Amino acid sequence: MIKYNFIKNYQDIQLWEKDPNKIDSKNKSLSNKKEIFILFKEFLRKEKIFYVPSLSAIGITLIFNLIGLPSYLNTLRLESKHQNFVFNFEEFKNTQSLIKEKITDLENYYQLYVLGSPTYTFSFFLQQTIPKNVQVSELTLDKDGFQMNVQAYKIETINEFIDDLLTWPIIKNDTIKVRNIIKQQIQAQPLSRNTNELFIVEISGKNNIVGISEKLPIFKKSYNYGLINKIEKYINLTDITKNTDL
């Protein structure tokens, strides 16, 4: 194959040739970079004091960080659970305080239903057991006890009433006292000479405090549905609080 230079046919086009100065400059630059690298490498080999301690400290720090990294990641993972636990614990404390307040309210209800005035239950038993021929002329009743005057034309009738009184669960039967027995002569009819004997007896005693469960049948017998409903709710609430560990 014959080499042929077509550029010779064109007078305005100059032939490009390599510039030896540029080549030398480039070679010098590469040579200088190699020398700098060699000097830097020699510096690192001889002057280890400048970088070995720093690199050692960085390496030790990195090792410790890598050792503690699992714990740190575990902390991040459990942080939300911890916050949730703290929130639930605060809710538990608030609920616990609320339950204690409600238990206090229940105790107040207990005082109302059990230790309150015995008027209702005393009146119920009195109406259920008093004989027809016995009349209550005076009655004093409080939370501690009672005192009443009864009268009848036969002492046996009053004794019958006292026997019934001893069976009342709301009265301490060993505290019942009978005193001031008065016998009066009363005319059977106006302008009549016939007289009857009237016996007046004073009876007193102490109340027996019974619980809610003992009072509930009394209210059922007397058809007091309002108190029955309240007492049943109270019993249910006390059963719940008994099963609650505070």
Evaluate whether residue 126 is within a structural domain.
yes
Evaluate whether residue 65 is within a structural domain.
no
Evaluate whether residue 155 is within a structural domain.
yes
Q: What is the pLDDT of residue 190?
A: 57
85-129 per-position pLDDT tens digit = 888 888 888 887 877 777 776 666 666 665 666 888 888 899 888
Using an 8 Å Cβ cutoff, are 207 and 143 in contact?
A: yes
35-94 per-position pLDDT tens digit = 776 766 766 666 666 566 676 777 777 787 777 777 777 777 777 777 888 888 888 888
Evaluate whether residue 201 is within a structural domain.
yes
Query: Quick one: average pLDDT of 9-15?
Result: 57
Evaluate whether residue 96 is within a structural domain.
no
CATH of the domain at 132: 3.30.1360.100
Evaluate whether residue 223 is within a structural domain.
no
Q: If pLDDT is split at 50, 70 and 90, which confidence band does 148 have? A: very high
Query: Quick one: average pLDDT of 230-240?
Result: 74
Kind of pairing between the strands at 135-141 and 145-152:
antiparallel
Length, in residues, of the chain: 246
Using an 8 Å Cβ cutoff, are 210 and 169 in contact?
A: yes
Q: Pick from 109, 190, 187, 204: which is nearest to 149 by CA?
A: 204
Evaluate whether residue 194 is within a structural domain.
yes
Task: Name 220's Cβ contacts closer than 8 Å, sequence gap at least 6.
Answer: 228
Evaluate whether residue 236 is within a structural domain.
no
pLDDT at 21 over 70: no
Q: Pick from 208, 148, 142, 139: which is nearest to 172 by CA?
A: 208
Q: Pick from 186, 127, 178: which is nearest to 153 by CA?
A: 186
Count of domains observed in the chain: 1
151-168 per-position pLDDT tens digit = 998 889 999 999 999 999
Q: What is the pTM of this model?
A: 0.52
Residue span of the structural domain in which 158 resides: 119-208
Q: What is the pLDDT of residue 116?
A: 62
H or E segment at 108?
A: helix 52-113
